Chain A
Amino acid sequence: MSPTSLSVSGPIQGEPFGLLDDRPQDGVFRVHRDAFLDPSVFELEQRRIFEGGWAFVGLASQLRQPHDFVTTTLGRQPILLMADESGQLKAFFNSCRHRGMLVQPARQGNRRAHVCRYHGWAYDSAGRNQHISEHEQGRYPAAFEAEDHDLVALPRFERYRDFLFASLNPDVDDLETYLGEARHFLDLMSAQAPEGLEFLPGNAVYTFRGNWKLQIENALDMYHFNHVHVSYVDLLRRRPALPEMGGPPPTGAAEGEQGTFSFGRGHAVMWRSRSRASETLLAQRARRFAPHMTDAQLRWSGYGRNLTIFPNMQMVDNVTSMMLRVIRPLSANLTEMQTYCLAPIGEAAAEREARLRDYEDFFNPSGLATPDDNVIYEHTQTGLAATGAGWTQGYSRGLNRHGLPDRSPHGAELGIETSDWMSGTRSLGDETCFHDAYREWARRLQQEKT
């Protein structure tokens, strides 16, 4: 089905896909309001983005022991990740071959065999069918006997360091090509955890009544911080600084620089050179990281970094704590988020406890910052329905490149190639770092092949 037949054509005359007005040479980048509102856009996003290419599905340390399993969703489809008897990681559709029932309804666990509760068909942890109940007496035809009855493996499932990705579309680049230069920021996270990264136990899932792309934008948006999170900043300023953790966010001359990188497949980073981390914490971390990092990585491990791996994974390294969130769109105006406190395996008990309190302060629907974002998304979703007001003006900060070199000095420092970049003072609030995600989004939505 072509995109136009799903009535996603916007107001740009003569353009087959009119929801994106992408003319950086004219200083113009605009996203049409229907991109956030139209259910047919959501349907296309599910098929061509979330079910049409790579998406984050989990962390290798969730499957540490043979027979460990995790269930989740990829697009709208239930999936089952397992470690087989030898510990090899495998990914399947979570659907019994018999009648399609969820073969494993639990969220996580350890099972040598997964027995379907409907008629007792059983599969081992490598997805092989072990048992068809009353097989002999069942008068099955030869055609059935000729079929394989194993769980259906996901078309693509690959691992990059600790990060597991899968694709329901077999016809995609290998994962490393897909991640491109953004992988250096995954490397930087992994280099902080020589024994690997883990999700700390405890389930935190929330929803907001807004489009998922508001989340994509916001996590890369430094401009909103002092406005939306003023109560959090205010609260930190009133607290005594903790020497082993940190104080309020830096201000004035101590603010440091801020900038962004875009990587060409919708992935992007927003960074700031100073965080609220104390000198003691930075020095302690640097001592530990030094054997595993280049000098540039060591410096950047002390920078605050927000990373988006398109389309569904975001990480925030506030230096004081690390968060990984998975975006799951449920409809054009409803999004489910799962957030995790990410930590190095084997961390000392006192550091872990301090990390948890810092994480809980900021993130989760019960934190002091994330709920502010959620309410902002809902007001934005409601406001975007004013389609009569035309294009918004929220993608222009950072488009004026006058006086900047071709190559990012920060990119050169890290030895990475970027498709776009911007840097400046903490008040830069660059918005060009959203552009890449929308270009990838538009490119994928316009692909005829699903």
Chain B
Amino acid sequence: MTQPTLLEAASLLQREAVFIDQRRWSEWLALYHDDCLFWLPTWRDDDTLIEDPRREVSFLYLQGKAALAERIRRLEQGKSITTHPLPRTCHIVSLPVLLNGGESPAWHSQWVNHLYDPRSHESTSFFGGYRHHFVREGAEWRIRQKVISLANDRIPTVLDLYSV
């Protein structure tokens, strides 16, 4: 399976972070392949993430771009009180590294996201790791799969696409 260069992979991750933080939702969505998976598993116990989303609980298990688009629409539409106001976010994402393991090699990176809630004047942060699979679509690389591990999983109030 062909892989992007480190520069291409890193650039894709940085664009993802910037698009979310700048709320450029449609550009963020365009980074994903139509047949994508966006998965944020819960922890089974203190040391282990769940492994089987068909039998265990996920925070987010969004299959296909349409499922991501639903969430984006909810953020843009303003009908959910959770969007009034949206927190200001700041994603910091490390350089990715291509590692073997699982069915195919994946790009592993670390992330931290600082959030400030203008409503409560409180800052909080989420952090963990990303595991990306990319796929070539024409001239572009797209995200085929993004699996997020969230280290600090006692969630204050809301967890959404922009939180992780």
Contact = CB atoms under 8 A, between A and B. Distances in A.
Nearest to B47: A106
A386 to B, nearest CB: 16
Interface in B39-57: 40-46, 50, 53-57
Interface residues of A, number: 42
A372 B80 contact: yes
B56 A378 contact: no
B157 A374 contact: yes
Contact of A202 (B44, B60, B120, B155): B44
A67 to B, nearest CB: 16
A201 B157 contact: no
Contacts of B42: 202-204
A202 B154 contact: no
Contacts of A378: 119-120, 157
A37 B157 CA distance: 19
Nearest to A108: B45
A90 to B, nearest CB: 22
Contacts of A205: 153-155
A336 B157 CA distance: 10
A44 interface: no
A206 B155 contact: yes
A403 B160 CA distance: 47
Interface residues of B, number: 35
B19 interface: no
A289 B54 CA distance: 23
A374 B158 contact: yes
B77 A234 contact: yes
B57 A359 contact: yes
Interface string B17-36: 00000000000000000000
A249 B122 CA distance: 36
Given A360-B60, A368-B74, A206 B157 contact: yes
B58 A356 contact: yes
A366 B41 contact: no
Contact of B157 (A109, A209, A368): A209
Contacts of B82: 371-372, 375
Nearest to A337: B155
Contacts of B50: 201-202
- Interface of B, secondary structure class, is loop
A376 interface: yes
B136 interface: no
A390 B159 CA distance: 34
B111 interface: no
Interface in A226-249: 228, 230-232, 234-235, 238-239
Contacts of B74: 231, 235, 368
Given A200-B56, A204-B59, A356-B53, A375 B77 contact: no
Interface string A178-200: 00000000000000000000001
B55 A352 contact: yes
Contacts of A228: 81
A208 interface: yes
B58 A360 contact: yes
A401 interface: no
A207 interface: yes
B61 interface: yes
Contacts of A232: 80
Interface in B72-101: 73-74, 77, 79-82
A149 to B, nearest CB: 28
B8 interface: no
A120 B135 CA distance: 54
Contacts of B156: 206-209
Given A108-B45, A202-B50, A372 B81 contact: yes
Contacts of A238: 70
Contact of A360 (B43, B55, B61, B119): B61
Interface centre among B50, B73, B156, B157 (most CB of A within 10 A): B157
Interface in A101-134: 106-109
B46 A202 contact: no
A341 interface: yes
B57 A206 contact: no
Nearest to B159: A366
A366 B155 contact: yes
A203 B43 contact: yes
Contact of B159 (A336, A349, A365): A365
B155 A349 contact: no
A357 interface: yes
A231 B77 contact: yes
A202 B43 contact: yes
Nearest to A340: B57
B22 to A, nearest CB: 22
20 contacts: A201-B50, A202-B58, A204-B42, A204-B59, A205-B154, A209-B156, A231-B77, A235-B74, A239-B70, A336-B154, A349-B55, A353-B54, A353-B55, A356-B57, A359-B57, A368-B74, A371-B160, A375-B157, A375-B158, A378-B120
Given A206-B157, A207-B155, A234-B79, 5 more contacts: A201-B50, A202-B41, A208-B157, A365-B155, A371-B82
Interface of B: 40-46, 50, 53-61, 70, 73-74, 77, 79-82, 119-120, 153-160
